[in-house]
Structure 1
Amino acid sequence: MGGEVRQLLEQIHRFSRRCLFRVLSMGPLPTHLAFIMDGNRRYAKKRGLEDGSGHKAGFSTLMSMLQYCYELGIKYVTIYAFSIDNFRRKPEEVQSLMDLMLEKIKSLLDKESIVHEYGIRVYFIGNLGLLNDQVRAAAEEVMKATAKNSRVVLLVCVAYNSTDEIVQAVKRSCVDKADRDTERIQLVDIEENMQMSVAPEPDILIRSSGETRLSNFLLWQTGNSQLFSLDALWPEIGLRHLVWAILNFQRSHSYLEKRKKQL
């Protein structure tokens, strides 16, 4: 009986979401959402959980967000999973995060995973050479396995910060120009060599835990993005937070579009 009740409740929730999303779809929807997933460790400490539990809860939140974005028809989702600066943490903490990352990356290859269910293509963006061999190999395997998917694009920024991305793009632009025997580097050259060039600029950048800093994330790409700060810690983020962010985006959409045309 308990299982039947849970199944009924889930059907009611799905129907309610469909109705809600249909109403939201009457207005403009973002094409690209970016998330700074802040507060996993504070969530674990707040609840007296063991180390790593906050990040596991955060992964569940990410899966829910991907499901909602798929149902809404949002094409691109970018997450800030691990900054280059995070390597400065205690070695045992970094190793624990790498082990968890390896576990979660491998889970994306499961036939029952949300990646295969929703046809998600996965990119790992960042200096992957900084990752250990196992994590890097798993990331490359996921990118290869999902290369033909096209419904949703998930960009995972790992071993990433924006200044490093810009520096690497400039370096690649210099190499390209040297190969063509020309010296002048233009803006379009750098943009084409940015790792994030596989996706349009984010419409909304959402950061959890009440922080209002960009933390060296997508500095190049968010000049016209709407910034949305949530007081809730990342594992506490739910559907209502996403809906509120989209409603705010719709309210200011016409102004943002005018600004883009002026630039």
Structure 2
Amino acid sequence: MEKGSGSRIKWIFVNLVTFLRKFIFLVLSVGPIPDHIAFIMDGNRRYAKKQNLIEKTGHRVGFLALTSMLKKKLKGLIEEESIVNRYGVRVYFLGNLKLLSEPVRLAAERAMVATANNSNAVLSICIAYNSTNEIVHAVEKSCEEKWEKISLLNASGSGYGLIRLECIEKDERGNLIKLIDIEKHMYMSVAPDPGILIRTSGETRLSNFLLWQSAYSYLYSPSVLWPEIGFRHFLWAILNFQRNHFYLEKKRKQL
């Protein structure tokens, strides 16, 4: 009797939680939903100390499969039954991938190719990445692209000698490279600017992460450590994003 009663209570509880979650999602769907949520996964060492774990264990818990995935699980990531394929998630590895060891770089490239046809969601994993390097990379690529175009024009006889920068009028030089040129060469050009940027552990620094893209993002810094983040924190982040969405969009349009 007690066993049956316990099972019934559990069934009621599970269904109640499911109903409440669906109701919350329904309420949230009335307001604007961010296309992109970015994370700075902070607090793994502190979590390890808090749980009396070895520090590397804290990182393993915090990153879940991500850290070990780079060494051991990229192959599993692209298998048909993997979670990314089950939910139609396309995977990108963003950053200076040349800095990775060859086995990891090749595995990351295979994962990106294998998930290229998935279109339900995008998971971008920043590795060997910081914003300073990203901006320099984008400017360099933009200059190379523009220089190549000028060289081709001159080679075809229609460039009017513009291969020499001093031949270009001063007021025209500022138009050689435009904002759109730089943005299309950003590592993060594969995704929209984040609507929400979450950094756990209560830290408010961006630590050289998505500096270009987060100018008009809602910044959320819950005090919980990364391994402790849960549904309620995502809920609170989205609710506050919706409260501030009009203001952020107004500022974005003034740019």
* TM-score with structure 1 setting the length: 0.79
**Deviation (angstroms), 1:107:** 3.6
Q: Deviations over 1:186-238 (max 9, x none)?
A: 22111111111111111111100111100000111111111111100000000
Hey, what does 1:260 align to over in structure 2? Answer: 252
Hey, what does 1:87 align to over in structure 2? Answer: none
Cα distance change on mapping 1:190 and 1:143 into 2, 3 Å: same
> Which consecutive unaligned segments of at least 5 residues does structure 1 have?
64-80, 82-96
1:13-52 alignment, distance < 5 Å: 13-52=17-56
Hey, what does 1:213 align to over in structure 2? Answer: 205
The answer as to 2:63 corresponding to 1:59 is yes
**Which structure has the larger Rg?**
2
Which segment is superposed worse, 48-57 or 223-232?
Answer: 48-57
> Which consecutive unaligned segments of at least 5 residues does structure 2 have?
151-161, 166-175
Mapped to 2, the partners of 1:223 and 1:33 lie a distance apart of 14
Mapped to 1, the partners of 2:143 and 2:108 lie a distance apart of 28
Which segment is superposed worse, 44-53 or 25-34?
Answer: 44-53
Mapped to 2, the partners of 1:16 and 1:162 lie a distance apart of 39
Count of aligned positions: 227
Mapped to 2, the partners of 1:152 and 1:26 lie a distance apart of 20
* TM-score with structure 2 setting the length: 0.81
Q: Which protein is richer in strand relative to its size?
A: 1
Mapped to 2, the partners of 1:104 and 1:208 lie a distance apart of 25
Mapped to 1, the partners of 2:22 and 2:234 lie a distance apart of 14
Mapped to 2, the partners of 1:159 and 1:25 lie a distance apart of 35
The answer as to 2:179 corresponding to 1:187 is yes
The answer as to 2:105 corresponding to 1:105 is no
SS at match of 1:156: strand
Q: Which of 242, 245, 250 is equivalent to 2:237?
A: 245
**Deviation (angstroms), 1:104:** 4.2
Mapped to 2, the partners of 1:229 and 1:116 lie a distance apart of 31
Mapped to 2, the partners of 1:254 and 1:42 lie a distance apart of 36
SS at match of 1:200: coil
Report % sequence identity.
57
